[in-house]
């Protein structure tokens, strides 16, 4: 990857945008965990702390009309792809004003207006779905790219291998984004995966496989931009392995003492917002610019939380709807 490639230039405007997304993800995750701790909300939640930069930079390479399929640990992807904070918070709170009328919750966020088509609760299940979306775009002659975002554990699932094979056969406009956060639930990569580089698995399907530092915003963006451009040009899929880190337990409240303390400390330093702030300030973005972004995002989150809390839950009768295409709520 040539970091000087002008077609994927890391401009000050782009740096600001990525910082805004990463800060929004970080503060949303932080606030949601605090509300769970305080008992203000009660729902299953899979934290994304540590993976903010990965999603913010990678998904900045997409157009609004491009498709995204993500996983139950997908808050970062959902926000990076543009789901409005109000609608996301309302869905997390189980309110009728949410993206899925309060019926999906954190594990099943869907919002087609921003291209977030599916959030799956089954490991690896979203990868072939992204193929289907890519195939639909290909058949219709649309200039769309589909992205399947998943973790390292999903690369051991049969659906991963089946999807990569068919995407290569049909030259689908799809990018397989493996956010390798080093742990599949409680299992280290080395203990559950036969290869040290997930990207190398692409060779078996005759597609490019690229590994990058998912905590480096410029490298993550440029790697993903090249893969997206390749797919959009009709040259087929790419497997991108982004090395990132999960700084919490598998699910909120879970023990994560199995992560070595020194390893966790080093990862916290690499994935910190302070480190990202420093990197972004090196791209001709001033401290005052960053402070303004932080102020705006903090206000956005406060507004979204208030909106979610005051919104009504779905009517019990709503359970009958959104099952069949022809059904309409009264």
The DSSP-derived string for 224-256 is HHHHHHHHHTT---EEEEEE----S-SSTT---
**Would you give the distance in Å from CA 73 to the centre of its chain?**
8
**CA 65 to CA 114: how far, in whole Å?**
7
Q: Strand pairing of 174-180 and 183-184?
A: unpaired
User: Which token pair is 71?
Assistant: 């996983």
What is the mean pLDDT, run by run of 10 residues, along the chain of 330 residues? 59 97 98 97 95 98 98 97 98 96 94 97 96 98 98 96 98 98 92 94 98 97 98 98 95 92 93 94 93 98 98 91 71
Among 262, 217, 59, 72, smallest CA distance to 153 is for: 72
Cβ atoms of 275 and 52 closer than 8 Å: no
Three-state SS at 130: helix
CATH class of 16-307: alpha beta
3-state secondary structure of 207: coil
Tell me if residue 267 falls in helix, strand or coil. helix
Q: Which DSSP state fits 183?
A: E
Residue with tokens 């040259």: 235
Question: Where along the chain do its domains lie?
Answer: 16-307
The pLDDT value given to residue 8 = 83
Give me the long-range contacts of 81-84 (CB less than 8 A, separation at least 24). Answer: 81/114, 81/115, 81/116, 82/114, 82/115, 83/109, 83/111, 83/114, 83/116, 84/304
Task: State residue 243 phi and psi, 5-degree precision.
Answer: -80, 115
Pairing of strands 187-188, 183-184: antiparallel
Per-residue model confidence (pLDDT) at position 298: 98
pTM given for the model: 0.94
Contacts of 203 (CB under 8 A, 6+ apart): 209
CA distance 315 to 87: 17
CA distances from 106 to 72, 86, 155 (A): 7, 14, 23
Strand ranges in the chain using DSSP code E only, listed in sequence order: 67-71, 116-120, 146-151, 174-180, 183-184, 187-188, 209-213, 238-243
- Cα radius of gyration (the chain): 19
At residue 314, φ and ψ (nearest 5 deg) are -65, 150
């Amino acid at each position: 990857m040539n970091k000087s490639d002008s077609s994927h230039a890391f401009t000050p405007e782009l740096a600001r945008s990525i910082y805004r997304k990463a800060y929004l993800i970080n503060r949303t995750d932080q606030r949601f965990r605090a509300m769970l701790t305080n008992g203000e909300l009660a729902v299953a939640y899979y934290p994304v702390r540590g993976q903010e930069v990965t999603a913010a930079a990678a998904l900045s390479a997409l157009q609004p009309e491009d498709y995204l399929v993500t996983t139950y640990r997908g808050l970062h992807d959902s926000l990076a792809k543009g789901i409005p904070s109000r609608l996301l918070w309302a869905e997390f709170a189980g309110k009728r004003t949410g993206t899925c009328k309060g019926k999906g919750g954190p594990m099943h966020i869907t919002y087609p207006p921003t291209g977030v088509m599916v959030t799956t609760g089954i490991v690896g299940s979203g990868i072939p779905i992204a193929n289907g979306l890519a195939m639909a775009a290909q058949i219709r002659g649309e200039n769309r790219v589909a992205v399947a975002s998943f973790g390292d554990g999903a690369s051991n699932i049969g659906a991963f291998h089946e999807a990569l094979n068919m995407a290569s056969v049909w030259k689908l406009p799809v990018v397989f984004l493996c956010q390798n956060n080093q742990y599949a639930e409680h299992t280290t990569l080395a203990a559950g995966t036969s290869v040290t580089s997930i990207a190398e698995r692409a060779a078996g399907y005759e597609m490019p496989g690229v590994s990058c530092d998912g905590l480096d915003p410029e490298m993550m963006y440029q790697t993903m931009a090249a893969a997206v451009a390749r797919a959009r040009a009709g040259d087929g899929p790419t497997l991108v392995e982004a090395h990132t880190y999960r700084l919490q337990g598998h699910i909120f409240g879970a023990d994560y003492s199995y992560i070595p303390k020194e390893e966790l400390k080093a990862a916290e330093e690499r994935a910190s917002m302070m480190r990202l702030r420093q990197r972004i300030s090196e791209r001709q973005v001033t401290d005052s610019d960053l402070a303004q972004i932080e102020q705006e995002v903090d206000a956005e989150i406060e507004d979204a939380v208030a909106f979610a809390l005051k919104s009504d839950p779905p009517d019990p009768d709503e359970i009958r709807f959104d099952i069949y295409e022809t059904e309409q709520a009264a």
